């Protein structure tokens, strides 16, 4: 079992749900990334999703796209990010997962990338552009290293395909709330709860919802039907103010925001 499996076993035993903040690694630098992860976990985040910047957006909205561009322009490399995650993973009691394009994994080599995660104490990877037909090989690489391979199911995924995705996934399934890109939204699709409810009946894997979640009202609406919620753009937007508002103020602002979301689980 991976540390993500252990986390959800514990949460289910305690009848709690996971909040998983997403942050862009290296924006504005890796030291701030480390400080932000520690802040998020101290506030009560169950797990942190770390975006590895990539030049070609997959499903990223403008807020995350811009954060990726800023990081790439500064010349921050994957090795810099993984080195930082290794340092912070040793300090916290919460799994870290990388959101990473398969192009980056392919360039490094699947086994080499998985080895690097394992060595740094990272719990797994989310690979949004990995087709299910091509996932068994990477799934085997991850399984042999006790890493989770988290894959995505979207509103346009057919039921049969969703089941195939679940078969080669581990850790949890990432359910994309909307057919579109990441970004804060005021309203979520009315059919979302039913779709997630159906998926949870089909697989023993936890199902976590991401894309568009940004308000305490969203948490109250979705927590009863999901095992966890992922919040990204609302956090990345606040983090972008670090160099103008000050790093300490930004850490406090993001921490306070996450605390309001966690309070909505009650």
Q: How do residues 73-109 score in pLDDT, each as one tens digit? A: 999 999 999 999 999 999 999 999 999 999 999 999 9
Question: Number of folded domains in the chain?
Answer: 1
**pLDDT of 34:** 98
More confident residue, 62 or 120: 120
Q: How many angstroms from the chain centroid is the CA of residue 103?
A: 18
96: left (phi over 0), alpha (psi -120 to 50) or beta: beta
pLDDT-based confidence at residue 183 (cuts at 50, 70, 90)? low
**pLDDT of 43:** 98
Bridge partner residues of 18 (DSSP): 228
pLDDT tens-digit map of 111-138: 999 999 999 999 999 999 999 999 999 9
pLDDT tens-digit map of 23-33: 999 999 999 99
User: Is residue 31 annotated as a catalytic residue, yes or no?
Assistant: no
Mean residue pLDDT of the chain comes to 93
User: Is residue 49 annotated as a catalytic residue, yes or no?
Assistant: yes
**pLDDT of 62:** 82
Instruction: Tell me which of 5, 49, 93, 167 is the catalytic residue.
Output: 49
**pLDDT of 178:** 72
Please give the structure tokens belonging to residue 128: 């949004």
Instruction: Identify the domain containing residue 192 by its residue range.
Output: 3-263
Tell me if residue 229 falls in helix, strand or coil: strand
pLDDT-based confidence at residue 12 (cuts at 50, 70, 90)? very high
C-alpha–C-alpha distance, residues 192 and 208, integer Å: 12
Instruction: Tell me which of 6, 60, 191, 248 is the catalytic residue.
Output: 60
The domain that contains 60 carries what CATH number?
A: 3.20.20.70
* Residues 227, 11 contacting (CB under 8 angstroms): yes
Please tell me the total number of residues recorded for the chain in this structure. 266
**pLDDT of 1:** 77
For residue 250, is pLDDT > 90?
Answer: yes
Verify cis geometry, omega within 30 degrees of 0, for the bond prior to 28.
yes
């Amino acid at each position: 079992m991976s540390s993500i499996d252990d986390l959800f076993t514990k949460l289910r035993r305690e009848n709690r749900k996971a909040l998983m903040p997403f942050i862009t690694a290296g924006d504005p630098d890796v030291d701030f990334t480390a400080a932000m992860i520690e802040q998020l976990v101290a506030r009560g985040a169950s797990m942190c999703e770390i975006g590895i910047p990539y030049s070609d957006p997959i499903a990223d909205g403008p807020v995350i796209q811009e954060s990726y561009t800023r990081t790439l322009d500064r010349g921050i490399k994957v090795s810099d990010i993984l080195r930082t995650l290794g340092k912070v993973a040793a300090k916290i009691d919460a799994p870290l997962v990388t959101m990473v394009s398969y192009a980056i994994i392919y360039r490094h080599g699947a086994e080499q990338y998985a080895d690097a995660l394992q060595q740094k104490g990272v719990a797994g990877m989310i690979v949004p552009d990995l087709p299910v037909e091509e996932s068994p090989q990477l799934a085997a690489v991850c399984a042999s290293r006790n890493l989770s391979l988290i894959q995505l199911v979207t509103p346009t995924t057919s039921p049969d395909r969703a089941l195939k995705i679940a078969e080669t996934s581990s850790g949890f399934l990432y359910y994309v709330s909307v057919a579109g890109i990441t970004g804060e939204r005021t309203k979520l699709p009315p059919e979302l709860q039913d779709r997630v409810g159906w998926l949870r009946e089909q697989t023993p894997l936890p199902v976590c919802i991401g894309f568009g979640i940004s308000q305490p009202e969203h948490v109250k609406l979705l927590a009863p039907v999901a095992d966890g919620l992922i919040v990204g753009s609302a956090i990345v937007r606040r983090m972008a103010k670090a160099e103008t508002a000050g790093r300490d103020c930004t850490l406090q602002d993001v921490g306070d925001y996450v605390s309001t979301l966690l309070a909505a689980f009650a």
